[in-house]
Structure 1
Amino acid sequence: MDRKSVAGRRVLTGFRPTGPLHIGHLFGNLKNLVDLQAETEVFVFVADWHMLSTDFDRSESLPRNTWDLVADLVSAGIDPDRTSIYRQSDLPEVAELCLYFSMITPISWLERNPTYKEQLANLDGREIATHGFLGYPILQGADIVIVGGEVVPVGDDQLPHLEITREVVRRFHHLFGGDFFPEPLGLLGESPRVPGSDGRKMSKSYGNAIFLADSASDVDEKVKSYVTDPEKIRLNDPGHPRVCNVFAIHELVSSTEEVEVVRAECEGGERGCVACKAELSARLNNVLEPLRDRRRDLESAPEKVEQILDGGYARAKPIAAAMVAKAREQVGVACSRSAASSGDVRGAAK
């Protein structure tokens, strides 16, 4: 779907608390979310159960990583007054709906998922061939529909997961009746190439990332380590900006006029890489300084993060309770004594 069709629809996305967010997130998904929260209702969840699908041996890091993730989101401009930020594991309804979906999802649907095969290959040597890892898309589907998510910002690699969700929703309705779960649509947002210091895609697992929480001096040192045009050996050698990782980030943080100056001076042999990196550091730090200010506010009152999660939970809980109550009714499972009362099901009956 296109961006113009999003208004009035409930948007949902999640982030796994596996480590700090970096500028690749900032110029991609986070920028899109900041824009979306001004246009429509947005839900963002901390995907702590999803983290366990690959990092179950690092569960002791969850509390700290959760705090850091929420701090990164807020510092990047996600406004908890406009966007509901909550913790996945605070909603047991997600696990219950995941169970119902698991009962009706053929294993072949999961095994044919190209993302599953790619991740198995990329994480070769790690003990991740588990039920939880294979069933990741089922849990993801429960995450989406439990709060009536209608639009999910995704990259190309996540489209197969989203299609599984749509197929499971259709199968549920076919088997048990009703038409109350939304079939979520994918929103392919702008996602510029953000290279890491070694030229590969920026990733915390590669050790090549500039993090949102990095200090100005950290940013300076990391930018200095960036690989540039291998053919530009001497200062007055003409450069090739299109193959330079430093130039790629200039395009994200510099004005159009500044980018053209960098391009012309580089191609004309009038700009050295050391000076170009120093200029980039200064501009990147100008972008990140407001984020550092917002993060310092949270660090001075760390309990605010839990308050933010409480606020998001208060908005998500009644929707999730109503969704799972409806699912129980359709499946024929008796409502337990602990079942929450019905709440807002906007988006479910559309």
Structure 2
Amino acid sequence: MSQSQIASARPVILTGDRTTGPLHLGHYAGSLASRLALQHSHRQYLLLADAQALTDNADDPTRIRRNVLEVAFDYLAVGIDPALTTICVQSQLPALAELTLLYMNFVTVSRLERNPTIKAEIAQRGFERDVPAGFLCYPVAQAADITAFKATVVPVGEDQVPLIEQTNEIVRRINRQIGREVLPEAAARLSAVARLPGVDGRAKMSKSTGNSIPLSASADEIRAAVGRMYTDPGHLRAADPGRVEGNVVFTYLDAFAPDREDVEMLKAHYRRGGLGDMTVKRRLTDILVAFLDPIRERRARYAADPGEVMRVLKAGTAAARTVTQATLDEVRAGLGLVLEAEPEPA
């Protein structure tokens, strides 16, 4: 079997990020770590979702355009390999927009409004009934992204699982309408840390709420962010026993500390008393600095040559355009949206 045949036989992954700003530790824990591992065993497509980013940023399109490269720098800095993963730009794949339009006929407004992820994000942004139509239809656009590549695996955080479920509902309706399985269903692949809280402990880490640690954070920025972290409000003195559960510092240690035995010893010490919050925070700061320093240095090298990164994006987008157009053609034909050839004159 040739290398191209081996590659085509591997399961397909589609994942990506909205280009609203540089990525942070929540992205790494939520899906980047999985992408790094899976790019060696799967055909992986990584989407820079600039069109979806417009759903709640239409008043600032320059922000979206600027962050296409910023997110690409982060992908490459953490170790995404363009030889293994196809990195592509959503807005440059016209088949995705047409698939979204077609899929909107196979889902109701009430079903979109019931999607737990969308409900939570509408509340978080304070849209109430002024929600942009594009934002409400975000699950449909994501279904188009996933199915255009015929992906069967989608690495996501726990909060994104309802979007995968809605994708599969649309897939089943399309396949029933066509009368055969044109599109495959996709499975969500959760990371070991399904959701990383923000440094304030009140919500998931998010660029929009300012409670995140960017992948490009300096040692001083990391130290300041860890210093703000929520611990145990009942742990007033180092001698007091403390709670590990719900303690953001220990959540981050679970996610990023390389020595599991050391973390368990810290937890036991904290629970019985005699271990101060600042000592634990210093330990976490050292771990995060050691983890992020090489990423920040690699990112700086990529940012110094944006032309080369843009060439990577153009090559990946060209390859993705071929794949997504083929899926659109198949769905169109299955739904009867083709012009029949005129009969030859007698």
Q: Could you say which TM-score interval applies, normalised by the shorter chain?
A: 0.7 to 0.9
Code of the residue aligned with 1:291 in structure 2: it is: I
Give distance in 2, aligned partners of 1:243 and 1:171: 41
Q: 1:235 to 1:178 in 2, by over 3 A?
A: closer
SS in structure 1 opposite 2:76?
Answer: helix
RMSD: 2.3
Map 1:73-112; keep pairs closer than 5 Å.
73-112=75-114
Q: 1:222 aligns with which of 211, 220, 225?
A: 225
Query: TM-score w.r.t. structure 1 length?
Result: 0.85
- Find out whether 1:172 has 2:174 as its counterpart: yes
What fraction of aligned residue pairs are identical, expressed as a percent? 37
Give distance in 1, aligned partners of 2:114 and 2:256: 40
1:113 is displaced (CA, Å) by 2.6
Give distance in 1, aligned partners of 2:244 and 2:172: 48
Task: Mark the runs of 5 or more structure 2 residues left unpaired by the alignment.
Answer: 1-8, 340-346
1:70 is displaced (CA, Å) by 1.1
1:273 is displaced (CA, Å) by 2.2
Comparing 187-196 with 292-301, greater Cα deviation is found at 187-196
Query: TM-score w.r.t. structure 2 length?
Result: 0.86
Q: 1:53 to 1:227 in 2, by over 3 A?
A: same
Give distance in 1, aligned partners of 2:289 and 2:126: 37
Aligned residue for 1:296? 300
Task: Mark the runs of 5 or more structure 1 residues left unpaired by the alignment.
Answer: 1-6, 336-350
Q: 1:144 to 1:253 in 2, by over 3 A?
A: closer
Q: 1:225 to 1:180 in 2, by over 3 A?
A: same
Aligned residue for 2:15? 13
Give distance in 1, aligned partners of 2:194 and 2:158: 13
8 A Cα contact 2:46 2:86, kept in partner: yes
Map 1:1-350; keep pairs closer than 5 Å.
8-125=10-127, 128-200=130-202, 201-254=204-257, 255-334=259-338
Comparing 27-36 with 122-131, greater Cα deviation is found at 122-131
Q: 1:221 to 1:112 in 2, by over 3 A?
A: closer
Comparing 247-256 with 290-299, greater Cα deviation is found at 247-256
Code of the residue aligned with 1:279 in structure 2: it is: R
How far does the alpha carbon of each residue in 1:13-72 deviate from its partner, in whole angstroms, 9 at most, with x for none? 121112222112212211111111111111110111111112222222012211111111
Q: 1:105 to 1:214 in 2, by over 3 A?
A: same
Give distance in 1, aligned partners of 2:74 and 2:36: 13
Q: 1:217 to 1:178 in 2, by over 3 A?
A: same
Code of the residue aligned with 1:109 in structure 2: it is: R
Aligned residue for 1:340? none
Code of the residue aligned with 1:234 in structure 2: it is: R
Q: How many residues align?
A: 329
Code of the residue aligned with 2:206 in structure 1: it is: S
How far does the alpha carbon of each residue in 1:59-112 deviate from its partner, in whole angstroms, 9 at most, with x for none? 220122111111112222222211111110110011112122223433343233
Code of the residue aligned with 2:334 in structure 1: it is: Q
Code of the residue aligned with 1:135 in structure 2: it is: C
Give distance in 2, aligned partners of 1:16 and 1:131: 17
Code of the residue aligned with 1:327 in structure 2: it is: V
Aligned residue for 1:4? none
1:285 is displaced (CA, Å) by 0.6
